[in-house]
Structure 1
Amino acid sequence: MEKDKYSQVPNPLILMNEANKEKYSESFLALCALQHVQANREVRQCQMPAATTPSLSDSKYFDKTACLDNGLWAIDELVHPIVSRMEYHFSKWSEQPEFIFALVYKITKDFMDGVDDVLQPLIDKARLVGLSAKESWVTGMVKMLLGYLETQIFPPLVTAYHRTDDKLEVHSSWMHLNDQMITFDKRMQLLADSGIQKVALVSEGLSRSLSVFSIYVGHSDWLRIWADIELNSAQNKLKSELEDEASWLCSIDPQDELGHQETTARFLLSTREDYKAPPVSEFVVKTASTMIERSHALPTKGTKIQYCRSTSVQFLNDFFVLLHEGCEALQLPNTALQDESLLKASYAINAARYCEYVVREWGEDTAFMELGAHGNYVDGNQEQIHKHSAQRQCSFFADEIAFLVKLGTDFLEQVMSSILIEFEDLSWDYVQSIGSSNEQNRPDDQVPDEENLEVLPGFVASLEVLRERTTKLKLYLNSKDFLDLWRSIAEGLDYFVYSSIRWGQVKFSDPAVVQLRVDTKALLRIFRPYCSRPEAFFPFVTDSLKLLTMRETDAQYFLEALKKGKDNSKSGLRQHGLHHVDASQAVKVLRSRKSGG
């Protein structure tokens, strides 16, 4: 075979003389007729309890073909004498299964033309409509190989797996065997598909028996061993990947440093680079994808679900837990913020978002949509990392997606809280002194020039730190989450500044109002690179400044109207451009004007 000069195995179907051929044909037809009768008998027995149901007549053809989906007896009898010859060679190749699969494929292929020329006319004469001699021949050879694998190849592997402490060699042998099975299945399916055009229902039934992976259907314990081996191999590779610090480092686009929304905000994210996720997330996705591809070789939904839950899903869950634990270890709201903490948290969030995107894509694949309805199956030894599935989506990865969404949201909130707490600590003295006349180094009646007025020194440090944090986060975080984050930070700052001012107790002089407006503009400038109108995210501070800067006569009239309830409706407030403060809040702000009575 290495030199590709092997001779074709003589086909006895072609070598038969006319007398033997006629006798064989009679025997073949008789056996087909017997199987046909048996199929009809089984259909009648299945339909007996529900004979009154008219719809059963529509499914009669499918039921009948289902009785034939395990191949034709007549062709199975042709396989039997060949098996004894082949098993002699198989016994020498227990450590080299690739030779076993190669020999079975070679014999199957060499006999294919004779099977089609001699047996297909006999199947048609037997009126087994839609059945292919080629496919039945392939099915028979696969069943033969399945029997040998089940009795001679897998049992020693299982024994070695349970008895050997050093399982590395067993793992390697098992994975090699499965690789060979996958390749063999694909080659045999191509041979089977080279037959006549098949009826869809017949094809669906027969194709189930064309896979050597059917061996796992009747041996769930063997399937668990295979899944454990695959998972163990993937986890070892991940462990090596995590030990490399470069796996967590992500290159930053130089354009992001410009800080211009027009050039950097990309919201159609699809690649790892778009999500700014570390390389380890790509490794995890590809490794899980490889295991998922292997699951396609399994012939039934039950085995596919069991294998996927025990391998790819468990592998993903382990990584997701790792991301969660990494963020928890940072203790963001409880410690002083550091650039390294923001970087690690950002990369973990980016990794979660990228994995969420990929897993959603997988869940929308047709193969997984079919498994979604059966997604409640869970291997008894597997623990789910996400228990809150009351609003479970119709998706195979519903729990995993929910866990990733919660992970990303929770840690974005922690980053936001950390920044707000830090800002509050740095600016507490400043906000407590807003509106106090002793903060002004000039007479109350002297209104300063706003263009030349500087931010109060007590507010400068908090603004600088806030600018640094938002700039870093823009570099580190993916664009979607950064958009949500800076808006949430802005709204939190608006609430903090507004609620910290002792409205109704302090009295704002005109210089104090000008100073507050200067300080507010400095705060808004931090967010201007990300939005053309950042004041929209500071609604309460903006409305308060509108009230404080109203003309004296308008302010007095408006205050009196609010007190008397004449202007207490939302429409009245909107006429003055106030869309967020209510009437009682507006009264407190107006009373804080020094000349507002």
Structure 2
Amino acid sequence: MKEESRNPLGARYCAILNAANYISTVLGDWGDNVFFLQLQQSAVALGEEELLGPLGVTESGRLASLEGSLFEGLLGLLERLRGDMLGRLLEAVMRDVQKKAQPYCRDRWLSLPSQCDQATMSLSSLACPLMQCLRDHLLQLQQMLCLPLFQMGWQDLAERLDLFLYQNVILYNHFNEGGAAQLQFDMTRNLFPLFGHYCKRPENFFKHVKEACVILCLNVGSALLLRDVLRQAEEDEEEPGTPEGQQPSPVSALNELGVYRLAPCDVLILLNLRASWPGK
């Protein structure tokens, strides 16, 4: 197993992971089987330590009332093994993806041409290695993992990628109008559809990125109004006793834009990453 762990993207590693998942599924089904339930009751009544192992009063009571299962201990071990192995596999994928994403993270987001200056929008050339790497890994995982594991895997991968892009592309850079439009195009028209093969609304797994794109791509007037609302809300918090109801709630203002995950303080940070302000 140590040898296989050195290559978590290898066929043998994935085969072991599939086997652990299969055994866990079978034991879970057996736990509800009438034969094993009767065996469990008999073992508890006779105090068979060979079957049950050393149990305390609480554990014995749970087994006697059929709340627990003969296979609980083994299932717990298999669950931990499956979680650890799947996590190690996804870490290996993310290392490869992050390596390919480095040029994209350092793109010239502050000086990209505006959407009006381009005949048609196209995928950023620096995003191509990232998208290709991600596509290849998704296809590889789909072929090598059983369906339940693949479902867990791609969802976990999407959420990891969401945080990575949010922290290393969006929060790390400043954006002019063209940069914000390019980022939104790359994400909504290229990244999200990669996961659209596996679910109807892949953007729901990229909430940080999706909502950040909304904020960065707001027109100047809407962005100014939103910034004023958020700043006023901050001032009201610092000065207790300010009459309520005179200003719209920052949360409701964000919800109207479709922003639910990001907090008002996060949105203020994003607004400060915009370069397209009057006077700049």
Range into which the TM-score falls when normalised by the shorter chain: 0.7 to 0.9
The answer to whether 1:359 aligns with 2:40 is: no
Q: Does 1:458 align with 2:132?
A: no
Change in CA separation of 1:396 and 1:562 when aligned onto 2, cut-off 3 Å: same
1: CA distance, partners of 2:177 / 2:80: 47
1:550 is aligned to 2:231: no
- Tell me the CA shift for residue 454 of structure 1: 2.9
Match of 2:255 in 1: 574
AA of the residue aligned to 1:422: D
Residue type at the aligned position of 2:182: Q
Give the counterpart of 2:143 among 459, 475, 488. 475
Q: Secondary structure at the match of 1:501?
A: helix
The structure 1 residue matched to 2:118, chosen from 439, 444, 448, is: 448
Amino acid at match of 2:30: W
Q: Which residue is equivalent to 2:238? A: none
Q: Distance in 2 between the 1:586 and 1:486 partners?
A: 28
Match of 1:591 among 245, 258, 272: 272
1:5-25: CA deviation from partner (whole Å, max 9, x where unpaired): xxxxxxxxxxxxxxxxxxxxx
Which residue matches 2:152? 484
Contact 2:104 2:169 in 1 (8 A): no
Q: Does 1:407 align with 2:81?
A: yes
> 1:196-207 residue pairs with structure 2 within 5 A?
none
Residue number among 528, 531, 549 corresponding to 2:199 in the alignment? 531
Q: 1:531 deviation in Å? A: 1.5
Equivalent residue in structure 1 for 2:71, among 397, 405, 421: 397
Q: What corresponds to 2:93 in structure 1?
A: 419
Code of the residue aligned with 1:512 in structure 2: it is G
The superposition leaves residues 397-438 of structure 1 with CA deviations (integer Å, 9 ceiling, x where unpaired) of 22122222222222111112211121112112321336232x
Tell me what 2:239 maps to. Answer: none
The structure with higher relative contact order (CA 8 Å, sep 6+) is 2
> AA paired with 1:542?
K
Relative to the length of structure 1, the TM-score reads 0.39
Contact 1:463 1:523 in 2 (8 A): yes
2: CA distance, partners of 1:432 / 1:465: 18
1:365 offset after TM fit, Å? 2.8
**3-state SS of 1:395 partner:** coil
Secondary structure at 2:197's aligned position in 1? helix
Q: Which residue of 2 aligns with 1:498?
A: 166
TM-score by length of 2: 0.79
Q: Equivalents in 1 of 2:16, 2:164: separation in Å?
A: 28
Separation (CA, whole Å) in 1 of partners of 2:250 and 2:228: 14
The residue type paired with residue 583 of structure 1 is P
1:267-286 alignment runs, 5 A limit: none
Residue in 1 that maps onto 2:185: 518
Q: Which one has the largest radius of gyration?
A: 1
User: 1:592 is matched by which residue type in structure 2?
Assistant: L
1:269 paired residue number:
none
What secondary structure, in the 3-state scheme, does the structure 2 residue paired with 1:508 have?
coil
Structure 2 residue 176 is the aligned partner of structure 1 residue 509:
yes
Q: Distance in 1 between matches of 2:217 and 2:144?
A: 39
Question: How far did residue 512 of structure 1 move?
Answer: 0.9
Letter of the structure 2 residue corresponding to residue 577 of structure 1: G
Q: Which amino acid counterpart does residue 397 of structure 1 have in structure 2?
A: F
Q: Deviations over 1:108-162 (max 9, x none)?
A: xxxxxxxxxxxxxxxxxxxxxxxxxxxxxxxxxxxxxxxxxxxxxxxxxxxxxxx
Are 2:177 and 2:276, in contact at CA under 8 Å, matched by a contact in 1? no
Two-structure CA RMSD over aligned residues (Å): 3.0
Structure 1 residue aligned with 2:240: none
Residue 208 of structure 2 aligns with which residue? Answer: 540
CA shift at 1:353, angstroms?
2.0
Structure 1 residues 345 and 568, CA gap change in structure 2 (3 angstroms): farther
| Structure 1 position 596, deviation (Å) | 3.3
Is 2:115–2:181's contact at 8 Å kept on the other side of the alignment?
no
Amino acid at match of 2:39: L
The runs of 5 or more residues in structure 1 that have no matched partner are 1-324
**d(CA) in 1 for partners of 2:116, 2:26:** 62
Asked if the contact 2:229/2:248 (under 8 Å) is kept, the reply is yes
Equivalent-residue separation in structure 1 for 2:158 and 2:90 (angstroms): 10
CA distance in 2: counterparts of 1:445 and 1:576, whole angstroms:
21
Query: For the Cα contact (< 8 Å) 2:115–2:121, is it kept in 1?
Result: no
- Partners of 1:585 and 1:567 lie apart in 2 by 18
Q: Return the letter of the residue paired with 1:330.
A: E
Contact 1:590 1:596 in 2 (8 A): no
